[in-house]
Chains A and B, each alone.
Chain A
Amino acid sequence: MLKNRKFYFGGFILSLFLAGILSFYASSSPDGLEKVAGEIGFIENAKEHTNADGTLSDYGVKGIENERASVGFAGAIGVVATAVVAGLTFKLIARKPGKRKS
């Protein structure tokens, strides 16, 4: 059994590595739905995303030219942001009513 700190720190670092470094090597082929949509022909009905010009759209940081750095930073930002939002959400859910401040 790993100690809590070691387990969670390890899991977080692994996630940072996967999203921040390994993601550069991910396949850029269309995914299952895109492929099916392209072959059958309804891909043309896709609209551009509302935030298509956003700072992090399509997993790249706008303004960073180097592709490896761009996807890496975007992935790392996503990992940290997900950790904050999910961490807080589950912390609040798990809090027992007796301990809640009123």
Chain B
Amino acid sequence: MHIPDGFIDVQTSAIFAGLAAAGVATALKGARGQLDEKTAPLAGLTAVFIFAVQMLNFPVAAGTSGHLLGGALAAVLVGPWAATLALTVVLLMQGFLFADGGLTAVGLNVFNMGVIGVWAGYGAFMIMRKLLPKNKSSIAVAASIAGLLSVPAAAVGFTIQYAMGATATFSTTTVLSAMVGTHVLIGIGEALITGLTVSAVLASRSDLVFGWKDNKTVLEIKHA
């Protein structure tokens, strides 16, 4: 999912660098209201864990692999604002240290994985949490479904960028169906890892999990 330099033209990359920067700035503000000294270390560990698991590409179909994106996972564990920041740290590390994801494409990648992936995942999680019974296993199931949907959502993000500023001339609909089709499969892996990880953290430290706090607290925090 990490876009290299050259796929998307400079103008479009610059637009998304601006959008990503605005998203990160808003997330910095939002995270101040959501994180405290008790939950901040979990946000750090979430970034570390996502970096590690993103190295573990799993096979999805003949000759194709995928890896965790982690946006939904992070949103459930530490809230959407801190999740955007965690993903941004991971993507900057990958782009600058490991040559994974182009440097002119940093904004494109932060936007797709750190903004779309996080917020699509968070939205799906909140809806599922409302629909399911209020217990820990429902939280893990809701997180899994959020993970599943967040991956094709990020793939749609790429397709929008492709439509706006592709350096190639292949049709956007071809790219859209291929991207979504492949990334629904990768989403199944995302769902498994997200569900397992959320279950494990709920079993060991449910007091730290953002998505497990009752609805009222979440609303208060959101308005803060």
User: A residues bordering B, Cβ < 8 Å?
Assistant: 1-2, 4, 7-8, 11-12, 14-16, 18-19, 22-23, 26-33, 35-37, 39-42, 45-52, 54, 56-59, 71, 74-75, 77-79, 81-83, 85-87, 89-91, 93-96
Contact = CB atoms under 8 A, between A and B. Distances in A.
A4 B204 CA distance: 10
Given A32-B185, A32-B186, 4 more contacts: A30-B65, A49-B103, A89-B44, A94-B35
B56 A82 contact: no
Interface of B is mostly: helix
Contacts of B48: 11-12, 15, 79, 82-83, 86
Which 6 pairs across A and B sit closest by C-beta, in order of nearness?
A94-B40, A42-B168, A57-B99, A86-B47, A47-B6, A19-B52
Nearest to B27: A93
15 contacts: A12-B48, A18-B56, A22-B56, A31-B2, A32-B186, A33-B3, A36-B178, A40-B168, A51-B96, A59-B98, A78-B93, A83-B45, A85-B93, A93-B28, A93-B35
B182 A35 contact: yes
Contacts of B185: 32
A94 B85 contact: no
A2 B205 contact: yes
B102 interface: yes
Contact of A86 (B43, B53, B103, B205): B43
Given A15-B51, A33-B158, A86-B47, A49 B102 contact: yes
Contacts of A18: 49, 52-53, 55-56
Given A47-B4, A47-B5, A58-B100, A15 B55 contact: no
B64 interface: yes
Interface residues of B, number: 69
Given A19-B52, A89-B89, A36 B175 contact: yes
B5 to A, nearest CB: 4
Contacts of A28: 57, 65
Interface of B: 1-7, 28, 31-32, 35-37, 39-41, 43-45, 47-49, 51-53, 55-60, 63-67, 82, 85-86, 89-90, 92-94, 96-100, 102-103, 155, 158, 166-168, 170, 174-175, 178-179, 182-183, 185-186, 204-207
B89 A82 contact: yes
Given A8-B41, A12-B45, A78-B98, A33 B2 contact: yes
B174 to A, nearest CB: 6
A22 B53 CA distance: 9
Given A32-B179, A47-B5, A81 B82 contact: no
